[in-house]
């Protein structure tokens, strides 16, 4: 049950064609935690600045998230700002201020080192490795990354991939990492780099899971009114890992169902700004949408 | 069981990044017939020129296709030539010669007018309507169209949509027809135009079926080595309708399975030039891939 996540907590400024919101709660580990917290208690490791709002820490605690691994450092919290085009697929990063995250040195509290389920949210591979090194006997470790690290820290990333059970990539990252345009071939090539499973996310076109014992593909949940796509990928990972940790096994059928739960938490995520829509969801609402998605996928 | 298709038979010249093939058998009704012929005998109505090769008619007959509704007119057979970019998604039409198809006046032979299952392959909506008028009591009619007709013959197309049971559209066509960018909203708007079902094809991203009693979404079959994408949409329609006609009902579960069969026939289509890979498939091979796709889709 013990699910640990290491990653960013941030304040985001987000522009869509409809509206603009400033200083909303964000960050990869934040989205992950809120999604995974729908399933199991979550242990969160990260860093925030002196400006981090007390009510945001309160919100985490109410959501079943143990934030005792969140260090408060001198300086400002990580800031990100971006703008989405009307098709939601095109995102322009307007500004990234690493702030306290620039010198983030992950410290997994002693009480969290027995975590069985570990998610290394997007960060420099060296930082992710340093965090992983502090976990005693992880049972299932999943790593996320981004184009920047594939490009600038490839050797570190490849070393990390040999130590994890699964990697989460979007289509662009998978192509960049492997040089393969065809996504199935790309996923196969990633398996050759070490992980037992690859989760390949295609945004509005769904996702697939490939491993030696499983190949499962599913559509995105059809959200008619997207509000803010920020955090969809981390919310997917949170729903996926939350369900796996809750179930306590990584059988192919658990992983398939976890892909549906990840799709569901990602769909709630994009229906509100920040974690607003997702953090207000009950488990019953999540299960209801799971059943709906399952019906949409069901060959019958 | 009686499945009728009206549409084009053509000779295509196709360029891919790997190779160039001239004067290969093509056309919407041709691809449809070869795919549907894997399931049930097919009745084909169309027009060819004096240059149509006898061995191509022979191939049709061997594939269980009744070509007695194919008129041979003075002039040359429809010609199309196109070039694909390396990503397969970008297609440039290099030339279209309508030839004998320019004045195509569909004549459904008397012996074919009792057809229960009807596919109106892409043609001017007026021509499609004229063909449909000759069928006595169609039980399930599906229509395909293209951006040209949505743009230039919208009123005719809307009149036709009020008379058919289902329409097959790709993502671009659905958006163009409805003005909705979101594909689920677009499909819902199409239902408001008359058909009971919309089949929305997203190429490598799969397809979905929407109706009042069904919503089913599935991924494309993961083809690793595409040879020629020409005809994938018509082969999808052929597998879909062939299975529906074979089953003899349009229950939601039949339609869901038909979406898988359409995906399978489309996947075989793109693995060869023209109808070459598809026409050489046994039903057992099609069922084997159906089972494989079903496993990929199965939540378990």
Q: Does B87 touch chain A (CB under 8 A)?
A: yes
E strands in chain B? 3-6, 10-15, 20-26, 42-48, 65-72, 78-84, 91-97, 117-120, 140-144, 166-170, 197-201, 207-211, 214-218
Q: What confidence tens digit (pLDDT) does each residue in A279-300 have?
A: 989 999 999 999 999 999 999 7
Task: Tell me what pLDDT residue A61 has.
Answer: 87
Q: How many residues does chain B have?
A: 300
State the Cα–Cα distance between residues A94 and A110, nearest whole angstrom. 38
Q: Hey, is the C-beta of A126 within 8 angstroms of any chain B C-beta? A: no
Q: What is the arithmetic mean of pLDDT over A19-33?
A: 96
Using a CB-CB cut-off of 8 Å, the residues of chain B touching A208 are 219, 296
Question: Could you read off the pLDDT of A252-282 as tens digits, one per residue?
Answer: 999 999 999 999 999 999 999 999 999 989 9
Q: Is the model's pLDDT at A63 over the cut of 90?
A: no
According to DSSP, residue B220 is labeled P
Q: Is A256 on the interface with B (CB under 8 A)?
A: yes
Chain A residues within an 8 Å CB radius of B298: 216, 256, 299
Tokens representing B288 are: 């084997």
B189 contact A CB<8A: no
Give the model's pLDDT for residue B90: 85
Phi, psi at B116, each rounded to 5°: -90, -35
- CA atoms of A172 and A175, how far apart (whole Å): 5
- Give the ipTM: 0.87
pLDDT confidence bin for B1, thresholds 50/70/90: low
The answer to whether B256 faces chain A, any CB pair under 8 Å, is yes
**B117-120 and B91-97 beta bridge pairing:** unpaired
CB proximity list for A138: less than 8 A, separation 6 or greater: A115, A116, A117, A118, A132
Query: What's chain B's average pLDDT?
Result: 95
Is 80 exceeded by the pLDDT of residue A123?
A: yes
| Residue B118 in this model has a pLDDT that exceeds 70 | yes
Asked if the Cβ–Cβ distance from A256 to B218 is below 8 Å, we say no
Residue-averaged pLDDT of chain A = 95
What residues of B are in contact with residue A217 (Cβ under 8 Å)? 206, 219, 222, 296-297
* Pairwise CB contact (< 8 Å): B215 & A297: no
Contact A256, A209 (CB under 8 A): yes
The single residue listed with the structure tokens 């892409």 is B122
A chain contacts of residue B206, beta-carbon cutoff 8 Å? 205-206, 217, 219
Q: Is B298 on the interface with A (CB under 8 A)?
A: yes
Whether the CB of B14 is below 8 Å from some CB of chain A: the reply is no
pLDDT in tens, A163-215: 999 999 999 999 999 999 999 999 999 999 999 999 999 988 999 999 999 99
Instruction: Please report residues of B whose CB lies closer than 8 A to that of A295.
Output: 215
> A258 vs chain B: nearest CA distance in angstroms?
9
Residue count (chain A) = 300
Question: What's the CA gap between A287 and A278, in Å, rounded?
Answer: 13
- Tell me how far apart the alpha carbons of residues A91 and A80 are, in angstroms, rounded to a whole number: 12
Let me know if B197 is exposed, middle or buried by CB neighbors in 10 A (0-12, 13-18, 19+).
buried
Do A185 and B224 count as a contact with CB atoms less than 8 A apart? yes
Q: Does A147 touch chain B (CB under 8 A)?
A: no
Q: What does pTM read for this prediction?
A: 0.92
CB contact under 8 A, B299 and A256: yes
Question: From residue A209, how far is each of A170, A187, A270 by CA, in Å?
Answer: 12, 9, 21
Percentage of residues in chain B having pLDDT higher than 90:
92
pLDDT > 70: percent of chain A: 100
pLDDT for res A235: 97
What span, in angstroms and rounded, lies between the C-alpha atoms of A265 and A249? 20
Helix (H) or strand (E) holding A81: strand A78-84
Q: A256: nearest CA in chain B?
A: B299
For residues B236 and A37, what is the distance between their CA atoms, to the nearest angstrom? 42
Indicate whether A1 pLDDT > 80: no
Predicted pLDDT of residue A97 = 93
CB contact under 8 A, A222 and B224: no
* Distance (Å, whole) CA A197 – CA A71: 32
> Taking 70 as the threshold, does the pLDDT of residue A65 lie above it?
yes
Shortest CB distance from B299 goes to which of A183, A222, A294? A294
Is there a contact between B226 and B270 (Cβ–Cβ < 8 Å)? yes
**CB contacts, 8 Å: B291 with chain A:** none
Is B61 a residue whose pLDDT tops 90? no
Which residue of chain B has the CA closest to A211? Answer: B296
- State the best of B222, B257, B262, B295 to mutate against chain A, taking most chain A CBs within 10 Å: B222
A180 touches chain B (CB under 8 A): no
Note the pLDDT tens digit of each residue in B275-288.
999 998 999 999 99
* Chain A interface mutation, best of B18, B188, B217, B261, highest count of A Cβ atoms under 10 Å: B217
Residue A206 contacts B, CB cutoff 8 Å: yes
Alpha-carbon torsion (A249, A255, A261, A262), positive or negative: positive
A205: chain B residues, CB-CB within 8 Å: 202, 205-206
Up-side HSE of residue B114: CA atoms within 13 Å toward CB?
Answer: 3
Closest CA to B29 of B56, B48, B9: B9
- Counting one residue from chain A and one from chain B, the pairs whose CB atoms sit within 8 A come to 79
């Amino acid at each position: 049950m013990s699910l640990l996540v290491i990653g960013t907590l941030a304040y985001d400024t987000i522009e869509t064609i409809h509206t603009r919101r400033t200083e909303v709660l964000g960050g990869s580990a934040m989205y992950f935690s809120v999604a995974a917290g729908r399933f199991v208690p979550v242990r969160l490791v990260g860093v925030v600045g002196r400006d981090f709002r007390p009510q945001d820490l309160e919100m985490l605690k109410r959501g079943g998230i143990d934030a005792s691994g969140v260090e408060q450092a001198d300086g400002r919290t990580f800031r990100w700002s971006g703008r989405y085009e009307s098709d939601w697929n095109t995102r322009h990063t307007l500004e990234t201020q690493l702030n306290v995250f620039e010198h983030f040195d992950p410290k997994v509290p002693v009480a969290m080192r027995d975590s069985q389920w570990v998610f290394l949210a997007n960060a420099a591979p060296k930082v992710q490795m340093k965090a992983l090194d502090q976990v005693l006997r992880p049972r299932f470790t999943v790593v996320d990354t981004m184009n920047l690290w594939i490009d600038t820290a490839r050797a570190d990333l490849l070393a990390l991939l040999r130590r994890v059970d699964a990697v989460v990539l979007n289509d662009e990252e998978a192509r960049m990492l492997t040089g393969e345009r065809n996504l199935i071939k790309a996923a196969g090539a990633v398996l050759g780099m070490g992980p037992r499973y690859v989760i390949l996310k295609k945004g509005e076109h769904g996702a697939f899971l490939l491993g030696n014992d499983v190949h499962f593909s599913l559509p995105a949940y059809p959200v008619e009114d997207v509000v803010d796509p920020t955090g969809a990928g981390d919310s997917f990972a949170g729903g996926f890992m939350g369900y796996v940790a809750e179930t306590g096994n990584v059988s192919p059928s658990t992983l398939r169902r976890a892909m549906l739960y990840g799709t569901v938490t990602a769909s709630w995520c994009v229906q509100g700004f920040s974690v607003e829509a997702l953090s207000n969801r009950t488990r019953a609402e999540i299960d209801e949408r799971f059943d709906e998605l399952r019906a949409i996928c069901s060959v019958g």
